Amino acid sequence: MSHFPSILQLIASRENVHHRRRIRVTMLVLLPFFLSSSLLGQTTTATQKHEPDFANVRNYIQQQMATQFVPSIAVAVARDKTILWEEGFGLADRENHMKATELTPYSLASVTKTITGTAIMMLQERRRLNLDHPVNGYLRAAKVHSPMWNPAEATVRKVATHTAGLTTYARNCFADEPDCRISLDEAIERYGILFWPPGERFDYSNLGYGILGEVVAHASGRSYGEFVNDEIFQPLSMTHCSLRTAKMPQNSAAQYDRTTQKRTPPRQFGTPGASGAECSVHDLALFGMFQLKMHLPNQRAVLSDAAIDETHSPIGNVSEGQHYGLGWWINDDYFGYRSVFASGGTNDSSAILQLVPSEGIAVAVVSNTGTTLPGAVVEEIVSELLPSFRERRANMVKNNPPEPETLQRHNSSLAGEWKGAIRTHQGNIPVTFSISSFGEVHAKLGSQPTALLDKASVDERSVYGLLPGEVGTDDAPRPPYNLEVDLTLRGDTLAGAATTRELRTGERGALLPYWIELKRTPQ
């Protein structure tokens, strides 16, 4: 049995790189997974509903905020067509003593992707785009590209489901760093690389949803921000939602670094379709109620019920019981219930929108720091609403201790010396890998000292690990940093991504992927 915080931690955590590799799994056959026998909770509606008492949840939130130094949290809970509870806790802005409320706008981080996915589906219904056409057909000058794969196979649908072949990308450009930001076209030219054959694997990509923001603009004839405001926020009565800019509105929640607890400057969003939205928790709950097909009188349906079902339908397998739709995660067995959810997290923000469709439940939790507390709060709330959920959750915690992480080490047929290069927009960097028969990898990058690939995982067709080294590009993180190397054997070539990763949590480092390709040296 699995539950959604495992996926939240997978995406939000930059420290545990092995979990990142587990999420990059080969896609299975595209099946309608939501019809599986794991929909255990759909027959319980009549017996589960009762008047909830959220007093224990309030106490839990206040205790955990104090323990974890969380500045503020806001919560909204809806069931059927009613918001049962919404409340803010703590200070949304410490310096100005502004209390958190259910109407305070918070950064949504990657929950923005569900809004972008909704916009894409709206344009599909209006026949302004086709999900199964190449994404490059909806882009202007800059196009996705690959040294090895056909870009025409990267469709809008595959980009929206993180299966187009794009990989990790993030740039933390703050308002006090005017030279940091590059345009989205520049980002696509440098990093819009198809590292994997389109359709082969799931690989979570912020750049992909940044690209989809451009697709929305091109297909609609308006800017991404104008479209989501006029066609999503306003029709759904989400009046405390907008795109965040470098100049933060006075009523928005400030953000605080999870490590230092210091206030962070406003960001400049290079990929607004991935993480640029802010909303109050009240409005996020309204969005969830629309996604549950509640047909509220103050909302105009921007999608048909059938289109909503399509956005919530699993496209590919992420891990056992976990799937992804169009901007939504799908969990087959959320302690006995099928769930659909959106999550986002950075060093200074976190947000979750959890839906339990069979029970008509939507729970939204936001915070103005990087924390896993919203996920735990969601489980506490759903436990109060659904007794059988509470029982299954208690048994899960009691009977299933976490399994230790293991690394793959095999007597590998990849043993030997491999030479090639990392390609950057400022030139190629020579690289040599020496792989031992028992899976140890020594790597030399350019003129830098030879280093042991840390946390190496080697099997018959792939090499993974962390390489200390620097690419030297003008937009790379401040050294020292690692390169996360993920290679797959393609014929006689090891090819894949080398992605910059900061060494310390809280650094203003960029996650930038570079194409790496090596061939075995003849013996």
pLDDT at 315: 82
Q: What number is the average pLDDT over the span 422-447?
A: 95
Per-residue pLDDT for 377 more than 90? Answer: yes
Q: Is the peptide bond before 480 cis (omega within 30 degrees of 0)?
A: yes
C-alpha 64, offset from chain centre: 24
pLDDT at 408: 54
Q: What number is the average pLDDT over the span 80-105?
A: 97
Q: What number is the average pLDDT over the span 309-338?
A: 92
Per-residue pLDDT for 417 more than 80? Answer: yes
Every domain range in the chain assigned CATH 2.40.160: 416-520
pLDDT at 103: 98
Per-residue pLDDT for 4 more than 60? Answer: no
Q: How does residue 327 score in pLDDT terms, banded at 50, 70 and 90?
A: very high
Q: What number is the average pLDDT over the span 316-338?
A: 91
Largest CA distance in the chain: 73
CA gap 76, 391 in Å, rounded: 23
Q: By the 8 A CB rule, do 269 and 175 touch?
A: no
Query: Which of the pair, 75 or 182, is modelled with greater confidence?
Result: 75
Query: Which of the pair, 270 or 110, is modelled with greater confidence?
Result: 110
Dump pLDDT digits (tens) for 353-364: 999 999 999 999
DSSP string, 107-148: E-GGGHHHHHHHHHHHHHHTTS--TTSBGGGG--S---B-SS
CA gap 263, 258 in Å, rounded: 10
CATH class of 416-520: mainly beta
Dump pLDDT digits (tens) for 385-403: 999 999 999 998 666 666 6
pLDDT at 249: 67
Helix axes 373-385, 387-399, angle to 10 degrees: 130
Q: By the 8 A CB rule, do 108 and 275 touch?
A: yes
Q: How does residue 280 score in pLDDT terms, banded at 50, 70 and 90?
A: very high
DSSP secondary-structure letter at 151? G
Q: What number is the average pLDDT over the span 90-115?
A: 97
Q: How does residue 449 score in pLDDT terms, banded at 50, 70 and 90?
A: very high
DSSP string, 318-358: EETTEEE-SS-EEES-BSSS-EEEEEEEETTEEEEEEEEGG
Q: How far apart are the first and last CA of the chain?
A: 48
pLDDT at 398: 63
pLDDT at 219: 97
DSSP string, 456-499: EEE-SSEEEEEEE-----TTSPSSSEEEEEEEEEETTEEEEEEE
pLDDT at 12: 45
pLDDT at 420: 98
Q: How does residue 247 score in pLDDT terms, banded at 50, 70 and 90?
A: low
Q: What is the mean pLDDT of the chain?
A: 88
Query: Which of the pair, 306 or 20, is modelled with greater confidence?
Result: 306
Q: Which residues pair with 335 in a beta bridge?
A: none
C-alpha 355, offset from chain centre: 17
pLDDT at 53: 94
Residue owning tokens 């999550």: 343
Per-residue pLDDT for 31 more than 70? Answer: no
pLDDT at 122: 98
Per-residue pLDDT for 207 more than 60? Answer: yes
Alpha helices in 13-102 (DSSP H): 17-23, 45-48, 55-68
CATH class of 5-96+277-399: alpha beta
Per-residue pLDDT for 8 more than 80? Answer: no
- % of the chain exceeding 70 in pLDDT: 84
Per-residue pLDDT for 13 more than 60? Answer: no
